[in-house]
Amino acid sequence: MDEELASTRAAPIFLNIMNTQFPKNRAALGKMLQEIPSSGETFEMDIFEQLLLASVYTAHQGHTSDQTDRQLWGDLFCSLVAPLIRDLSGKLVRC
């Protein structure tokens, strides 16, 4: 099988996750963030991936929003990225 074609096999799985298991508004993303454990231990892979995907989605929403919404999405982005930075580097980020 062609290598490029084989690389697209995971796309339906990714799209399914994004369309069915992923919050798409600020309130739901904020709720998801509140449910993330803050024990200081390394995140489980699924939590890390969820935060990473939420961060990318939030950055995109902020980029495509008007000025008023951009600030709100930016604040949420910072709140989502802070635990990732803490998990990866041990450094605390204040938003």
The string of pLDDT tens digits covering residues 47-88 is 999 999 999 999 999 999 999 899 999 999 999 999 999 999
- Reduce the DSSP state of residue 82 to 3 states and report it: helix
Amino acid code (one letter) for 40: G
Domain ranges for the chain, please list them: 24-89
Tokens standing for residue 7: 């690389």
Amino acid code (one letter) for 33: L
Cα(44)–Cα(63) distance, rounded to whole angstroms? Answer: 29
Query: Where do runs of H (alpha helix) occur along 8-66?
Result: 11-20, 26-34, 45-64
- Reduce the DSSP state of residue 1 to 3 states and report it: coil
pTM of the predicted model, to two decimals?
Answer: 0.79
Percent over 70 (pLDDT), the chain: 92
